[in-house]
């Protein structure tokens, strides 16, 4: 098992044995869960009173930022080196996680398997999971009717959240809970719901896209031979563009999980801790993702870069970019796409997307991508000189929306929907683990300002 082990530390023979496995996703989890349950039990028994941090008044009034107060097993975000998925960095994931037939990029099924089990799937396991998701990917007629009834002016994220919530009509967990089931069975029904929801998200998201931006255009049927994102791209109308399909695969895999404390993942965890089914839990997460301080960032970056492009024209010089950066900062605005709540170095996801751009001539020669690259070289020094940004380096949003724009995917408001399809991988898999480990209802203690002042004096 590759959980919490760096790839470089693993012997070649170990990888070979892993690649020989043909176990299904549920069978793999049935093996992994008892060990994790025992690990949690040992942590509670032997280290329950260990202190892992301290709470300051600024933490309480500052959105609980940085508090070590949440169990999230699939990924850990290090301020300096970035995200690791069960111990694997992004470059390591790109090296070992299977891609789609004929493709090179990580696919959602590979990342889903890793996030759920802590193990690298074989190509055969990934292909089987793709087939299962395709077979479960069609929307129920009542959800199609609901989505089709929405006005096209209703924000795509609102439509996505409402569609996901409506799917709870078919929740396996809810039905089993109402009939009465053992706590030890919670995770199996949660897994069924999570797989069904992930399978249906592309059809749901694509239907919203067609209704809002291309009304009257028929939706292609799900192709049982395609992976999850291959079908999503096809239903969006980009199936004949291998480059954008590959980009969507990479984008969705990289955005699949980013620790549990971000607003959308935390919301899914919080609502799920009440034993709400995965559909209700993830619909709540989507509405958190829709906020301007969370999932809307990539479209804000694109608007800002396009405004810069319009102002400076074809003279993409360091001085012109620096001047525009200072103009933005002196107007009281932040530079979108720079800084991060945790990271203190360039975002490895930004680097991975930039490397993708460098492998494709049309992106290397794209004016908007060239402007992104040049800005990423100039902005850190300007932000350091400005002195009000803890992390002056680019994050993933600095480039993600700009690549979509280059390929003609120009509907800004829809970008967060793609983010919503991707973030389901991490948020939903951790609901399975919350049920498998028996995690309790989340209930932090709150204080009034008077109570805080009294506490400080004491």
Kind and range of the H or E run holding 75: strand 75-78
Question: SS3 for 226-264, per residue?
Answer: CCHHHHHHHHHCCCCCHHHHHHHHHHHHHCCCCCCCCHH
Q: d(Cα 292, Cα 311) in Å, to the nearest integer?
A: 25
Catalytic site residue from 269, 340, 347, 406:
340
Catalytic site residue from 78, 138, 155, 294:
294
Active-site annotation holds for 397: yes
Residue position matching structure tokens 């067609």? 210
Active-site annotation holds for 294: yes
Q: What does the chain come to in residues?
A: 458
| Residue 161 neighbours by CB distance under 10 Å | 21
For the range 239-245, what are the long-range contacts, defined as Cβ-Cβ under 8 Å and sequence gap of 24 or more? 241/407, 242/103, 243/360, 243/362, 243/363, 243/407, 244/404, 244/407, 244/409, 245/103
Catalytic site residue from 73, 227, 347, 397:
397
Q: d(Cα 380, Cα 376) in Å, to the nearest integer?
A: 7
Give, in degrees to the nearest 5, the angle at Cα 169 between 425 and 74: 15
Kind and range of the H or E run holding 219: none
Q: What is the DSSP string of 316-353?
A: --HHHHHHHHHHHHHTT---TTB--SS--S--HHHHHH
Structural contact between residues 126 and 25, judged by C-beta atoms closer than 8 angstroms: no
Q: d(Cα 377, Cα 359) in Å, to the nearest integer?
A: 19
How far the first Cα of the chain sits from its last, in Å, is 49
As annotated, the active-site residues are 294, 340, 397
């Amino acid at each position: 098992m590759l959980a919490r082990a760096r790839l470089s530390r693993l012997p070649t023979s170990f990888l070979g044995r892993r690649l020989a496995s043909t176990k299904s996703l549920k069978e793999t989890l049935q093996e992994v869960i008892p060990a994790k349950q025992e690990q949690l039990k040992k942590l509670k028994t032997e280290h329950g009173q260990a202190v892992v941090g301290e709470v300051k008044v600024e933490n309480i009034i500052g959105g609980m930022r940085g508090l070590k107060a949440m169990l999230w097993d699939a990924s850990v975000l290090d301020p300096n080196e970035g995200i690791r998925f069960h111990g694997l960095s992004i470059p390591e994931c790109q090296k070992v996680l299977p891609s789609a037939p004929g493709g090179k990029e990580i696919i959602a099924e590979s990342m889903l398997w890793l996030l759920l089990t802590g193990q690298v799937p074989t190509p055969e396991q990934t292909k089987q999971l793709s087939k299962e998701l395709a077979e479960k990917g069609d929307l129920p007629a009542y959800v199609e009717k609901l989505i089709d009834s929405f006005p096209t002016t209703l924000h795509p994220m609102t439509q996505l959240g409402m569609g996901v919530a409506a799917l709870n009509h078919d929740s396996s967990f809810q039905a089993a809970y109402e009939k009465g089931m053992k706590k030890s069975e919670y995770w199996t029904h949660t897994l069924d719901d999570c797989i069904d929801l992930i399978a249906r998200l592309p059809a749901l998201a694509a239907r919203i896209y067609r209704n809002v931006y291309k009304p009257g255009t028929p939706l292609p049927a799900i192709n049982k031979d395609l992976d999850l994102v291959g079908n999503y791209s096809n239903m969006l109308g980009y199936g004949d563009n291998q480059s954008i399909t590959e980009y969507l695969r990479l984008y969705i895999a990289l955005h699949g999980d980013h620790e549990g404390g971000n607003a959308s993942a935390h919301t899914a965890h919080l609502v799920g801790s009440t034993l709400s089914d995965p559909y209700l839990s993830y619909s709540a997460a989507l509405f958190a993702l829709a906020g301007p301080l969370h999932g809307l960032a990539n479209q804000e970056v694109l608007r800002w870069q396009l405004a810069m492009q319009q102002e400076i024209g074809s003279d993409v010089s360091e001085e012109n970019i620096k001047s525009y950066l200072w103009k933005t900062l002196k107007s009281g605005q932040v530079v979108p796409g720079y800084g991060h709540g945790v990271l203190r170095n360039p975002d490895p996801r930004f680097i991975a997307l930039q490397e993708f751009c460098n492998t494709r001539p049309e992106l290397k020669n794209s004016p908007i991508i060239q402007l992104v690259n040049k800005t990423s070289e100039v902005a850190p020094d300007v932000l350091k000189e400005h002195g009000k940004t803890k992390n002056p380096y680019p994050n993933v949003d600095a480039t993600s929306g700009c690549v979509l724009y280059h390929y003609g995917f120009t509907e800004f408001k829809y970008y967060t929907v793609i983010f919503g399809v991707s973030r389901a991988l991490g948020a939903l898999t951790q609901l399975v683990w919350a049920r498998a480990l028996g995690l309790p209802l989340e209930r932090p203690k709150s204080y009034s300002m008077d109570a805080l002042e009294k506490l400080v004096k004491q």
